Structure 1
C-alpha cells in the first residue's frame, strides 16, 4: 500500500534527522567538556602560582615586621 510506504519513508527520514541531531549535540558537548577541562587545568595552575606568590610576599613582609 502506497500510503504505508509513504509513512515509512517519512518516519525513516525523521528518525535519521533525530539521530543526526543527537550525534551533533553529543559532539558539541564533548568539545565543550574538553574546552572546560583545559580551562579548569589552566585556572588551577594559575591558583597554584598565585598561592606561591602570596607565600613569597608574606615572607618578604614578615622580615620587615620582625
Structure 2
C-alpha cells in the first residue's frame, strides 16, 4: 500500500520531501499504473486532433 511508503496527513509534503527517491518512485509507479489510472488510447479519426480522440480505458477492457 502507498500508506506504507508515505504517511498521509497534513505533513504529507514534508514526508514526501524526506522520503528516499526509491520510495517516491514506487509511489509514482503505483499511482500511475494502468490499474489505477486506466490506459490512454488514441482512436482513429481523420481530420480530428489527437487531443480530441483520446479515450481512457480502465479495468478489464484495458
Q: Answer 1 or 2: higher relative contact order, Cα 8 Å, separation at least 6.
A: 2
TM superposition score normalised by structure 2: 0.29
Greater Cα radius of gyration, structure 1 or 2:
1
Please identify which structure carries the higher helix content: 1
Please identify which structure carries the higher strand content: 2
